[in-house]
Structure 1
């Protein structure tokens, strides 16, 4: 039975704990009341993690190494309590008690600070041991069985409070870790977007330089070649230069998506489809824009990234998968916008070790990277051909950069 004075102290302990939001502060707030119930030179609370593998100590009184870092339960002087093997430990001289100073035990504070008398009681919540309340005196033989009863009463009051405070502490740490991870991811993504913008600007500069200088030079050379006497030589030179000009025009069109800017996403894709399969007979091409022009209002960097992904998927289908039907569909979803590129080709199977499939696989990495840079989901399947799906979240439909990313992909 609890004595009247002890009951008052326990009620005061409970009132001191009310409103506390931090474990060490809570322990300091009740230290004086506990000293009214029993003599202590050192007091600490050990709380174990969910798997009872590590414990964290919170101290008042003497400062020891126990509270400097987490400790494996296996070397704790009160491991028997933390592991649920006993409900309490009592000793008149812990410095000579092998239960506390066994080989490998973290008993240095006991020896250094001469914590002779010790009483340790399990702290439980819903029948599960969550830690131990440990009281020590530098004098020998201070505590007895009645002290164990009193410390158990204190532990019963402290346990639910400290359990809640520990849960709150863990939640705060997890929130901080998540926030830091999100900040790092957002910083990396923003940096990647800026890099993408810079690369696109550089591509456009190169394209304009090629158009203004290189093409002009080649055109002049072709005109000079037309004046050559030998018809055979002239024809050979002109043919080579024409091929060179055609290649340069393709480079320029790739570097500067002028058609995309002038005529919109769907028309630009149709032109690219035609160019991608210009040497392949009987290929059915189809483009569908179900967004009512929404895709052409996207942030230019995001729209260009979608265009590049579609280009790569079309190239893979036309040049590597022997597809005779390619379709590109862009539509609005409740969660954002979706672009789907489908073909009936061979897909990227285990034979992807071949030279052509190797190129297509490299293109797959580029598509996935571009999708990640604009915070879009990227998916690919290979049933009855290849289907590439890119889902842009709602955040990406404004002129502001998107803020989240997830990716799902079936094995290539």
Structure 2
């Protein structure tokens, strides 16, 4: 039973008992006069209504706090319970908001450490793929070519097929290494890295259109990596799960920041639960102090929009403290 009704019913029991005593042995006159009974009944009704209204007003901050607790999501920071009430109620709301601040700060710090470790591990795996497996397959390819030059025609044809398989495997390993460690991002910058990423996803069944503004401000390596990874995850989802035929990838400067938008014409999110990829995008957005919006397009597809705030000097603004709205 809600707290409101428990307090209300307890008060009602006390008031009804008091009225019964007045109507019984403790009364002004015996037997009870009709006018006295009417006055007492009207007084009781008025007290119950007043009691209910006052309790509703007094407990309204607790109801707002309950709704805030239900809606709190550490991957969507900023929402707080509206302060209100008096005494213990106001103190409870203040303590809850402070607790959410601490949780968001700890979540952001732990996510930063996890993503940093993830990027370091990706860098290590990409390096090993390139240096170890890539070089081994290159040596195998050269050896196959040398053997094919001295082999009989029938065997040479079979070795040619093996060479093609090895060359395809080498290209696939290089492609995986590029995805794990976007060297083009470090060498050529974000705009060209996104263009190369769009070209990588272009294929027979999917067309990726890329646009980048000419007035993009400097963002810093960490912010650029966040934008690149979010674009990579959005394109991966569009290619694997949406059934889209066309995807638009754009990066432009907007009022107060830079906006990355990935829009497809696929089947949309529907009622599917949020997956690990989407949660990963939200965690990366937290690191950049950015706003991430996932929604449907007018045509029924999916749109991913990441807005990174930019400071007045043209550099990416640092993440705000937990609970602060931009």
Q: Which residue of 171, 176, 179 maps to 2:98?
A: 179
- Unaligned 5+ runs, structure 2: 23-46, 56-83
Q: CA deviation at 1:372?
A: 3.6
Question: 1:90, CA displacement in angstroms?
Answer: 9.8
> Aligned residue for 2:296?
381
Confirm or deny: 8 A CA contact 1:313 1:341 kept in the other structure.
yes
Post-superposition Cα deviations, 1:184-225, rounded to whole Å, max 9, x if no partner, equal 122012201210111011101111121111111111111111
Identify the structure with bigger relative contact order (alpha carbons < 8 Å, sequence gap 6+): 2
CA–CA distance in structure 2, aligned partners of residues 289 and 394 of structure 1: 17
| 1:371 aligned residue (270, 279, 282) | 282
Structure-to-structure mapping, 1:42-81, within 5 angstroms: 51=4, 53-54=6-7, 80-81=13-14
* Alpha-carbon shift at residue 391 of structure 1 (Å): 3.3
Q: Sort the Cα spacing of 1:236 and 1:166 in 2 relative to 1 into closer, same or farther, 3 A.
A: closer
Distance 1:363 1:170 in 2: 35
Question: In the alignment, which residue of structure 2 is the partner of 1:241?
Answer: 166
Give the structure 2 partner of residue 326 of structure 1.
Answer: 247
Match of 1:217 in 2: 136
Residue matched to 1:305: 226
Distance 1:128 1:175 in 2: 27
2:299 is paired with a residue of what secondary structure?
coil
Q: Give the match for residue 250 of structure 1.
A: 175
Give the 5 Å matches for 1:104-115. Answer: none
Task: Write 1 or 2 for the structure with the bigger share of helix.
Answer: 2
Contact kept? 2:238, 2:264, Cα under 8 Å? yes
TM-score by length of 2: 0.64
1:334 CA displacement: 3.8
Offset at residue 50 of structure 1 (A): 7.9
Aligned partners of 1:260 and 1:267 also within 8 Å? yes
CA contact (8 A) 2:269 2:302 kept: no
* 1:349 Cα offset (Å): 6.9
Task: Name the CA distance, whole Å, in 2 between partners of 1:89 and 1:392.
Answer: 66
Q: Given the two structures, how large is their TM-score scaled by the length of structure 1?
A: 0.52
Q: How many residue pairs are counted as aligned between the two chains?
A: 256
Is the 2:226–2:285 contact (alpha carbons within 8 Å) kept by the matching residues of 1? yes
For residue 280 of structure 1, the aligned residue among 182, 188, 204 is: 204
* 1:388 alignment partner, SS class: strand
Question: How far 1:236 moved relative to its partner?
Answer: 2.0
Between structure 1 and structure 2, the one with the greater Rg is 1
| In structure 2, C-alpha distance between the alignment counterparts of 1:272 and 1:233, rounded to whole Å | 35
Q: Given that residues 347 and 386 in structure 1 are in contact (C-alpha distance below 8 angstroms), is that contact kept between their aligned partners in structure 2? A: yes
Change beyond 3 A, Cα 1:366–1:172: same
1:292 and 2:215 are equivalent in the alignment: yes
Paired residues for 1:188-203 under 5 Å = 188-203=107-122
- Partner Cα separation in structure 2 for residue 363 and residue 89 of structure 1: 58
Give the Cα–Cα distance (whole angstroms) in 1 for the partners of residues 93 and 221 of structure 2: 34
Indicate yes or no: 2:271 matched with 1:347.
no
Query: 2:42 aligns to what?
Result: none
Separation in structure 2 between the aligned mates of residue 88 and residue 373 of structure 1, nearest angstrom: 64
| Contact residue 305 and residue 371 of structure 1 kept, 8 A | no
For 1:256-267, list aligned pairs within 5 A. 256-267=181-192
**Equivalent position SS for 2:251:** strand
| Aligned mates of 1:251, 1:402 — CA distance in 2 | 35
Could you tell me how far apart the structure 2 residues matched to 1:362 and 1:256 are? Answer: 29
Residues 1:391 and 2:312 are matched in the alignment: no
Q: What SS does structure 2 have at the residue aligned with 1:292?
A: coil
The answer (yes or no) to whether the contact 1:374–1:401 under 8 Å persists in 2 is no
In structure 2, distance between residues paired with 1:262 and 1:177: 46
